[in-house]
Structure 1
Amino acid sequence: MSEYRVTDPYTGQVVKEFPTATDEQIRAAIERADAAYEPWCTTPMAERAAILGRAADAFASRSRELAEIIRTEMGKPLGQGIAEAEFSGEIVQYYVDNAEAFLADEVLEVRSGVDARIRKSAQGVILGIMPWNFPYYQVARFAFPNLMLGNTVLLKHAPQCPWSATAIAEILAEAGLPAGAYENIFATNEQIADIVIPDPRVRGVSLTGSERAGAAVAEVAGRHLKKVVLELGGSDPFVVLSADDMDAVVQAAVDTRLENSGQSCNASKRFIVLDELYDDFASRLGAAIAAVPVGEPGDEDALVGPLSSQAAAERLRQQTASAVAEGAEVLAGSLDDGGDARVAPALLGGVTEQMQAYREELFGPVGTVYRAKDVDDAVRIANGTPFGLGARVWCTDPELALAVADRLDAGMVSINGAGSEDVDMPFGGTKRSGFGRELGPHGMEEFMNKKLVVG
């Protein structure tokens, strides 16, 4: 049985299989990507923009079809899948519209008075290793800034997402992207480590995934002196210091915890609340989370679907059962689920620093709530994790909110519900959440050659 297969998490049935690439096919894909690089990077910007602009349109016009694919691959509720496909098209269009400005020369003021400037250009073939939780969005934010820059792309998608991977490649081919500029490879981890990363024609690697995968890829890339961008896990804090509208704060907490069935690296997973607000917040949040049902296939408005697989669901059950066995309390919801991929939303309290759950990422619709005695204690709890992706702060005092945001060890902080994720905002973290940035102008700079030219 191929490693690349679509297993519907609603039914557990294998729907499609795609053959894993042979070593020869992997080498041929690298050869095609390398051969396509010079013609593509010298293609006029307007022509590159026209091609990728057609791809952006396709994500929007085919959004329902694309959503059905990932509903089958990883269980994403249909409405969220449509939104993901459409947002992916917006990302593509953002780089189409702004690439020329992003690639303009940067003139330097140097003390010698000579003309000195930074010329921005592509580097070559870039490998992307993508996850299953956002099958289109993650690819869009990696691949399309690199394609607009002039790099060519090797794309290894998650083994459970070969159908969506194929759909992206088809969109690009139909848009007129030259052969070889985007190569979809159904490679094994061993082939990536033994063949792709060591190849001198591959100039860099971007991975979105687990800590373990990131460490393994970075180790191989380091041995071969390849630049790496890593977007890894998160256990984002949601810090509540004060609120004028507690209902709005609770609704924001529900939305961020349960989006994508709780399977988002930058979802708020730990709710840290000042003592005087804790009881009210925890009671409201628990009731709201427990009231959210697990949706059924085809339910366009569902907030929560099944997890991506039965294995993912079982992993979450084990984590939560371990926390309860160590003394955590189920404040709302139920952990008594069946053996399939459905996991009901729940909220845990009483998690202490001695418990494994204090340091782990719960990747599913289970949140944890913490009582903080004061602002300093809230910051301590928020930073008491190996991760440092994003954070949210709720506070009616703007100066205090900004001061707390400055103290949080994270790559992104949102204050009072302000959105921190859009096409023009850089996305990335610190600590074990990885390094490097995607989206915004920074997303085009990671695999860019910034060449100093003095004349």
Structure 2
Amino acid sequence: MTTDFSRMWIDGAFVPGEGTPRAVLNPTDGSTIAEVPEAGSGQVQQAIAAARRAQPAWAALAPVERAAIMQRIAGLIRDNADALAKLVVREQGKPITEARGEVGGAAEFFSYYAEFARRIQGEILPSDLPDEQIWIQRVPVGVVVGIIPWNYPAALVSRKVAPAMITGNTIVLKPHEETPLSALFMARLMAEAGVPDGVVNIVTGDGATVGAALTSNPDVNLITMTGSVPTGKKIMRTAADNLVPVSLELGGKAPFIVMEDADLDIAVAAAVTSRFMNCGQVCICAERILVHEAVHDEFARRFVAAAKKLRVGDPMEDATDIGPKISVAELEKVERLTAAAVTAGAEVLLQGGRPDSAPVEGGNWLTPTVLSVEDSDMEIMQYEVFGPVVPLMKVRDFDHAVKIANASAYGLSAYLFTNDFRRIMRAIHEIDFGEVYLNRIGPEALQGFHTGYRNSGPGGDDGVHGLESYLRKKTVYANHSGRAQVGLMPYGAH
């Protein structure tokens, strides 16, 4: 399938942008993949207006009819999986093996949420009056704005669009300006699947212009965004002017706790995968590893040895473990955090950084770095690195580990490796994070609830609880007595 990336998708048509096209760069070699349109503020308004017009008819369809279209989308994603996976690699840089998994997930979101066609339930409550029932219905919010980051440019399209569609909403989605190609590719698949005009709209452009126009529009009923903490806070402030609800999944600083009774083979393998997948560019990555003092040195030795074996190379090759960073700016940010940690006293256990010989010339390459730290207040222990650099810290016991883990502005994902059932139960109660993984790592499950605390954002995605964001409640007092009735006021007042 060929895709014209010079046009975005508004109201069922592929249209050019009003602004100067933006180059999308391949992080593997720095080459330009495509010139992508920049939407103007007028086009943002057109997309929202199209979604507003389309929403009543879309919501009026039987849910199974909406689900049938969604299953066609899932099938088309699977039919075009190889092309889409290669496109993910070209624009984002993750290894092809990971990109194939992402595309599989992109299809699964549509299949999974299509199954809710017969599962969105209301409630019937008894009334205080005779011959009357109280119904609480779950109804669509209306028009949704979805904003996604660059680290999962295909899967996150589905993560926002699929729940919006099954609940009878329409959506305007903005992919990140550095990785818009997967979304535009998927727009073609949605059009082929028969998505009615205006139900899904994909507009491209930067956050300052397009994102701001979307989130400040009073005709929007929900904003769902995955991205950075500063952007999330800005969106909340903007949305407050129109009292628009928001669901935000922001950054993470996941603690990875290893106790002295853990199976070190399993813990080391899990830590390596969690830290270095997608070049460390995942919000649930192990961002700080806390190891019991009794096994710290042995864990560190094995972890460094395993990290040394990882292959940094061309992400189109199946043998590659780590691809390039998404951009030069992101690469330099990781370098600054690493240098600051070393200056502050971190010991280098594995010296990474830019390789002497680049796997592919022009790419944004970083090899793994492992640091040993003693101070949990260091910047690298508090701020999200989002790259192939990880600090290890020795902890005295479980209480010490939990204290350090919770002393964070973030609260998304946390990991614990132990075989002590009492510690496991304590962790469930005491680790103050939205997701806790016990003796395993992510990714999160479709039927779970991907949610965080504190700066990781309010709201969340996935499962029945993620679906709740896309629904609002309507209370109906259904009187069938045939006579006028007046309800009692609360607390016995008349």
Question: What TM-score, normalized to structure 1?
Answer: 0.95
Q: 3-state SS of the aligned residue for 2:189? A: helix
Cα deviation code 1:316-345 (max 9, x no counterpart): 111101111111111124235468411101
From 420, 439, 453, the equivalent of 1:416 is: 439
Cα deviation code 1:195-251 (max 9, x no counterpart): 333322211111111111111111101122110111111010111113452111100
Q: 3-state SS of the aligned residue for 1:115? A: strand
Is 1:104 aligned with 2:121? yes
Partner of 1:269: 287
From 320, 336, 340, the equivalent of 1:322 is: 340
Q: 3-state SS of the aligned residue for 1:186? A: coil
Partner of 1:65: 83
8 Å CA contact retained: 1:414, 1:420: no
Is 1:122 aligned with 2:140? yes
Write out the 4+ residue segments of structure 1 that deviate beyond 4 Å after TM superposition.
109-114
RMSD: 1.9
The separation in 1 between residues aligned to 2:251 and 2:21, in whole angstroms, is 23
Partner of 1:242: 260
Cα deviation code 1:341-362 (max 9, x no counterpart): 1110121111524422121111
Equivalent residue letter for 2:283:
C
8 Å CA contact retained: 1:236, 1:390: yes
Partner of 2:411: 388
Partner of 2:371: 348
The separation in 1 between residues aligned to 2:302 and 2:125, in whole angstroms, is 55
Equivalent residue letter for 2:415:
R
Q: 3-state SS of the aligned residue for 2:209? A: helix
Task: Give the stretch that moved more between structures: 25-34 or 208-217.
Answer: 25-34
Q: 3-state SS of the aligned residue for 2:330? A: helix
Q: 3-state SS of the aligned residue for 2:221? A: strand
The separation in 2 between residues aligned to 1:420 and 1:343, in whole angstroms, is 23
The separation in 2 between residues aligned to 1:247 and 1:327, in whole angstroms, is 29
Equivalent residue letter for 1:433:
S
Cα deviation code 1:365-404 (max 9, x no counterpart): 1111111111111111111211100111111112211212
Q: Could you tell me how far 1:95 is from its partner in structure 2?
A: 0.6
Partner of 1:157: 175
Partner of 2:453: 430
Q: 3-state SS of the aligned residue for 1:206? A: strand
Assess, with a 3 A threshold, how the Cα gap between structure 1 residues 337 and 84 changes in structure 2: closer, same or farther: same
Equivalent residue letter for 1:129:
I
Q: Could you tell me how far 1:27 is from its partner in structure 2?
A: 1.6
The separation in 1 between residues aligned to 2:125 and 2:22, in whole angstroms, is 49
From 375, 383, 398, the equivalent of 1:360 is: 383
Task: Give the stretch that moved more between structures: 38-47 or 329-338.
Answer: 329-338
Q: Map residues 274-285 of structure 1 onto 2, 5 A cutoff.
A: 274-285=292-303
8 Å CA contact retained: 2:415, 2:436: yes
8 Å CA contact retained: 1:395, 1:401: yes
8 Å CA contact retained: 2:252, 2:456: yes
From 48, 55, 69, the equivalent of 1:51 is: 69
Based on CA coordinates, which of the two structures has the bigger radius of gyration? 2
From 24, 30, 38, the equivalent of 1:20 is: 38
8 Å CA contact retained: 1:3, 1:159: no
Is 1:198 aligned with 2:216? yes
Q: 3-state SS of the aligned residue for 2:257? A: strand
Partner of 1:450: 473
Instruction: Give unmatched runs, 5+ long, in structure 1.
Output: none
Partner of 1:40: 58
Is 1:222 aligned with 2:245? no
Task: Give the stretch that moved more between structures: 71-80 or 235-244.
Answer: 235-244
8 Å CA contact retained: 2:274, 2:441: no
Cα deviation code 1:11-51 (max 9, x no counterpart): 11212111201222222111111111111111111211110
8 Å CA contact retained: 2:48, 2:172: yes
Assess, with a 3 A threshold, how the Cα gap between structure 1 residues 281 and 42 changes in structure 2: closer, same or farther: same
Cα deviation code 1:400-441 (max 9, x no counterpart): 112123211100001111756111111010010111121001
8 Å CA contact retained: 2:315, 2:322: no
The separation in 2 between residues aligned to 1:193 and 1:313, in whole angstroms, is 24
8 Å CA contact retained: 1:257, 1:268: yes
The separation in 2 between residues aligned to 1:11 and 1:420, in whole angstroms, is 28
The separation in 2 between residues aligned to 1:129 and 1:308, in whole angstroms, is 18
The separation in 2 between residues aligned to 1:449 and 1:218, in whole angstroms, is 19
The separation in 2 between residues aligned to 1:63 and 1:71, in whole angstroms, is 12
Is 1:147 aligned with 2:165? yes
Instruction: Give unmatched runs, 5+ long, in structure 2.
Output: 1-18, 357-361, 479-494
Partner of 2:199: 181
The separation in 2 between residues aligned to 1:297 and 1:76, in whole angstroms, is 6
8 Å CA contact retained: 1:313, 1:340: no
